[in-house]
Each structure stands twice: as structure tokens, then as C-alpha cells.
Structure 1
Amino acid sequence: MFKKSSWLHLRIPFSFFLLPVFLFALAISPNINVSHMIIVFVALHFFLYPASNGYNSYFDKDEKSIGGLKHPPKVSKGLYYLAILFDIIAISMGFIINWQFALALFIYGMVSKAYSHPSVRIKKYPFGSWFIAGFFQGAFTFIMSYMGLNDFSFRVLTLPHVIIPALLTSLILWGSYPMTQIYQHEEDAKRGDHTLSIKLGIKGTFYFTAIAFSLASAAFVLYFIYYFQMKYAIAFLISMAPTVIFFGVWFLKVNKNPEKADFSHTMWLNLISATCLNAFFIYFFLKNSLVLQALEAGF
């Protein structure tokens, strides 16, 4: 359980790429509670997501690069037990806030297990895995975070001002998800996992992401204009510019040489996109929650 390889497969730093969902939920939360903020952040990013990564790695037994690990070490049985332990810790932390948040953590954990477990293996279904991964890492996680941050129940599922931004997070993930699979075609096909990226092909994956990401960005702009202010829509578009530029340059490289659809470029795209989104949502949180005004006023 405590082998270095097991800890590497948890890929805790990889949680940075899913941080924007939490920050978005935080930015529109009406009841900012520091203790709840810490519990939700730690439970998700240091325990729930790593548990999912470790469990997925244990059953995939990848020999080539995976998200966050260029050279994944061989897995051991200890990784399985470590992933279960991390799941238990995450759910236990959820009970500190309320049982509904703990239940949401449990549901996420069970879906992530079904994603990779050989008896179900959602991952082998191209459209099913694409939809489920985008929904649970996006909308479901947004709602789960919102519940935990504000000590709310599942009643938030009836609130349009929660459901709409939750679905927006899934739109972004549905657009970008096939790009995370683009360098794994050989490895996935060998296991019988016919991912959406394999179905689309390398260039098709780029086209799909470009169209889906454009639609998602337009939806975000409309959301910020309707619910908040134009300045946030403009700031969102500006923050996304580095991602769009890198994506475009990478696509030109792949057009000349398909082998450029590799692990290194994929990780750089993920890093740039996550950094830009995290920066924007931190800015949005500070402005929308009036934290900056309070600090400027000397509080």
C-alpha cells in the first residue's frame, strides 16, 4: 500500500486540472464558510480525485503515458487498497458538513469505479464514457461542491441558478475530454477501449474540440452577461486566449506530423487551460464575493 509506485499512481497534482469546477462553485456561493471551503477542497482534490486516479490505474495497468505520468510504474495490489482508503477518507470528511455531501462523494466514487472496473468498464463505450465523464467531473462535481461549500441539501437540484452553471462546466469538459485521449489510441485500442477520440480520429478530435469549445465559450459569455456583468464575459474570453493560441499552433503541427498528437502536447494544453480557468475563477470569486473590496477597506 505504501509503495512509491502506488502514491505516484494517485497523481495528486493532476487534481489541479479539475480545480476550476470547485472555484466556479465557490465564486457563486452565497454562504462563504472558511472551514467548509477547506473541507470540500481537501476532500475533493487530495482524496476523492486521487482515489479515482489510483483505482483507474490499478485496473488499466497502463504501460505507456497516462495523464500526469509519462512513465507509469507497474501497479501493485497496494494501490487498490490505497485508493479505497482515500475514498473512505473523502466520504468521512463529507459527513463533517452533512450526509448529503457525503452521499454525493460516495456516488462520484462509485461511478469512477464503474468507469474502469472490468465488470462494467464504462470506459470501453465511446459515447457513454464521454457523456458520463463530462457530466460527473463537471455538472455533478459543481453541484456537489456547491452543496458542501454552503451546507445545502440535494434541494439545489431544483435551482436554475445552480443547474445552469453546473451544465456549463460539463459543456467545457465534453468539449475537451476527447483531447485527453488523443495520445492513448494505441494503448486504449489494445485493451478494447474504443474511446470517442479513437472514433473521431486525430484530426476529427481537434475539429470536435474546436467546435464544442467554441459553443461552450459562447454559452459562458451569455451566462456572465445575463447573470452578472459584461466585464466578466470579456475577462473570460481574454483568459481563454492562451489556450486557444496553443491549441491552434498544436493543430498546425499535427497537420504536418500526426505524431505530434502526443503526451507532452496534451499535458501542456491541459496545464495552460487549467491555469487560465483557475486564474479567471479566482478573479471572479474575489470580485463577485466582494473579498477584494473588503480587503481594500481594511477588513
Structure 2
Amino acid sequence: MTLRAIWLHLRLPFSIYLLPVCLFAMTLRPGITDWWRAIWVLLIIHVLVYPAANTFNSYYDKDEGSVNGLEAPPPVDRTLFWVSMGLEALALLAGAFINVQFVVFILVYGAFMKCYSHTSIRIKKRPIASWLLISTFQGGFVFLMTYMILQNVTFYDLFVTSSQIGLGLGTLISTLNILALYPVTQVYQHAEDASRGDLTISRLMGVRGTFINAWVCLLASGVGFLIFYEGTWPFFLMIALTTPGVVYLAALTYRVWQNPAAADYRAAMWMTRLTGWGMNIFFLIMLAYKS
């Protein structure tokens, strides 16, 4: 494989759209006291952990059509497998400079993503299980991991002494957002998934069902944010910044209802960009406000 092909399979730009989960966790009280540590954690997750999972998935899927964050995947060979292993090793090494708990989190996340893609297990072939587990790991798990690592909180602190209602609600909201958007990133892959025998959650729901699910989960997430911010100004700022993504989703839903083929790669990625950047900007404002 060429270096360019490897770079494309890392899908680093797509990590930006997963960033809101970590930023959300960083806005929780008592706040960030060590910004260098926080930046180091964000880099490990988004530059090493996520790309390691992406390249592992790409190696075992060997997609020829558009995939999440990559419109025209280059052909893959065994090189990509070793790139994935190398990135994970670097993530573990870098995580060791934070603490042992972070290393354990990285190992657990990496193990799940291998079970998701590897041909001998391939959770991806089980639509409901893959949907729930991906949403839990990329949403609630990463949210809790970020909070616990940056606040030096142990599981004992979390489940025995912690009384933060916001932590549980933030975990739920983060999971709901992935439950909404993850199937949308599969909606243009139905033919290729069918050719491999993968009944993804989007194939199970159908094109229209995928968008109905997105609206239901996003509405539930919105109610969660309303409760989380107690109807104060941050909630309305969040609504304002995510409105472009919501309006685009509404327009796309209308087009899909008329013609399911409208749910193509570029449409899904535009929705992801608009919602992702809206949330990123919102949480960055909240971090600046609380600093």
C-alpha cells in the first residue's frame, strides 16, 4: 500500500466529528485543571485510538464503495493490519504516561472494535447488537473514560461516592447521539453490506426507518440537554449552533421520503459535518466560559 492509501484509511478528519463526546465530558464540573494533560488525552483518542480502529475495520471489510469518512476507499493489504496494531501500541504507550486506568480503557475499546470487525466474531453482522454496542462505546464509554481520566476518578469514586446526576445524564446523551447518527452513516452502504452478508442496523430499519430513528433519538437527546442545562442559556445556544444540521437533516429526510436513493454518501457526510461542527463549537464555547 502507498502512504497516501494508508493515510486515507486512517480517516483522521472523521475523528473531528467524534470530538464532541470528549469535549462534552470536559465541560463537567469541577473542570479542567491540567490543560496539557487534557490535550494529550484528546490526541491519543482521536489521532491514535480511533484511527487504529478505522484501519482494522478497513482491513477486514475491504470496502470498494463509500464508507464512513471515505468516499473512495483505496485497496487494502496486510500492511493496513500492521498499521492498526502499531497505532494501538502507540496509544497504549502514550496512555501509560497518563495512568494505568487509561491503558485499560484503550485495551477494552480496542478489543471491542476488533470483535466488531474480525471475521471470526464480526459483531457488525448482528444489527441490534452492533448498533447498541457501537453507540455505547463511541458515546457513553468514551464520555465516561474522558471524564474519569481527566478528573482522576476511579470506578469506586464513580459508582460508590459520586453523586453527579449530570454525569449519568451526559453518558446517556452521548449514547443517544451515536444511536441517532451511526445508522445514517450506513445508509449508503446497503448494497455492499448485503454482498458480504452483513445485516447492519440501517439495512434492518430500511432507508426511511434509519431517518425516523435519527429523529427519535435526537429528540430524546434534545430533551436530555434541556434537563442537563435546566433550560438556561447554554441550551438555547446549543440549539442555535446545531440548527443548520437539524435543518439539513429535515431537508434530507424529505428528499429520502421522495426517493430513497437521495441518501448517498455526500448527503450523509454533510449532515455529519454540520451537526459535528455545531456541537464542537458549542462545547468549545462552554469550555472557554468555564475556564
2:127 counterpart of 1:126: yes
CA distance 1:122–1:144, change in 2 (3 Å): same
Deviation of 1:29 (Å): 4.7
1:270 and 1:160 mapped to 2: Cα distance?
A: 33
**2:128 and 2:201 in contact (8 A); partners too:** yes
Query: How far off is 1:257 after superposition?
Result: 2.1
Deviations 1:256-290 (A, max 9, x none): 22211100000000000100010111111112x2x
Alignment match, 1:33: 34
Instruction: Quote the Cα distance in structure 2 between the aligned partners of 1:248 and 1:257.
Output: 14
Instruction: Report the RMSD for the aligned CA atoms in angstroms.
Output: 1.4
TM, length-normalised to structure 2: 0.94
* Distance in 2 separating the partners of 1:25 and 1:44: 14
Q: For residue 205 of structure 1, report the CA deviation from its aligned partner.
A: 1.0
Q: Cα distance, 1:35 vs. partner?
A: 2.0
| Inter-partner Cα distance in structure 2 for 1:51 and 1:160 | 34
Can you give the 5+ residue segments of structure 2 that lack an aligned partner in the other structure? none
TM-score scaled to structure 1, two decimals? 0.92
1:93 aligns with 2:94: yes
Match of 2:205 in 1: 200
Mapped partners of 2:45, 2:132: distance in 1? 21
**Aligned counterpart, 2:261:** 259
Instruction: Say whether residues 1:181 and 2:186 are aligned partners.
Output: yes
Aligned counterpart, 2:60: 59
Counterpart CA distance in 2 for 1:156 and 1:273 is: 33
Question: Residue 134 of structure 1: SS of its match in structure 2?
Answer: helix
> Which moved further from structure 2: 32-41 or 70-79?
32-41
Whole-angstrom CA distance in 2 between matches of 1:210 and 1:8: 31
Deviates more, 1:154-163 or 1:176-185: 154-163
1:246, 1:75 → 2: CA distance? Answer: 34
Q: CA deviation at 1:155?
A: 3.1
What does residue 168 of structure 2 align with? 163
> What is residue 23 of structure 1 aligned with on the other side?
23
Q: Which residue of 2 aligns with 1:249?
A: 251
Show the 5 A alignment for 1:265-276: 265-276=267-278
| Structure 2 residue aligned with 1:142 | 143
2:33 and 2:261 mapped to 1: Cα distance?
47
State whether residues 105 and 144 of structure 1, in contact with CA within 8 Å, keep that contact through their aligned partners in structure 2: no
In structure 2, how many angstroms separate the alpha carbons of the residues matched to 1:8 and 1:243? Answer: 25
Q: Which amino acid aligns with 1:143?
A: L
Alignment partner, residue 114 of structure 2? 113
Q: Establish whether residue 237 from structure 1 lines up as the match of residue 217 from structure 2.
A: no
Structure 1 residues 11 and 269, CA gap change in structure 2 (3 angstroms) = same
Distance (whole Å) between structure 2 residues aligned to residue 259 and residue 21 of structure 1: 30
Change in 2 beyond 3 A, CA 1:254/1:104: same
Determine which of 208, 215, 218 is the counterpart of 1:213: 218
Equivalent-residue separation in structure 2 for 1:271 and 1:238 (angstroms): 16
3-state SS of 1:58 partner: helix
Kindly indicate whether residue 196 of structure 2 is the aligned counterpart of residue 191 of structure 1: yes
Contact 2:23 2:280 in 1 (8 A): yes
Q: Distance in 2 between matches of 1:279 and 1:241?
A: 13
CA contact (8 A) 1:254 1:261 kept: yes
Q: What is residue 295 of structure 1 aligned with on the other side?
A: none
1:46 aligns to 2:47 (yes or no):
yes
Shift in Å, 1:180: 1.0
Q: How far is the alpha carbon of 1:8 from its aligned partner?
A: 1.4
CA displacement at 1:156 relative to structure 2: 4.8
| Mapped partners of 2:17, 2:39: distance in 1 | 18
2:202–2:210 contact (8 Å) kept in structure 1: yes
Amino acid at match of 1:282: L
Distance of aligned partners of 1:94 and 1:283 in 2 relative to their CA distance in 1, 3 Å threshold: same
Q: Partners in 1 of 2:203 and 2:157 — Cα distance? A: 37
Aligned-partner Cα distance in 1 for 2:18–2:163: 23
Residues 208-264 of structure 1, C-alpha deviations (whole Å, 9 max, x = no match): 111111111111111110xxx611111122222111100111112122222111000
- Secondary structure of 2:142's counterpart equals helix
Give % identity: 36
Q: How many residues align?
A: 286
Distance 1:52 1:131 in 2: 17
What code does the residue aligned with 1:11 have? R
Q: What secondary structure does 1:97 align onto?
A: coil
1:153 Cα deviation after fit: 2.4
Structure 1 residue 2: Cα displacement: 6.3
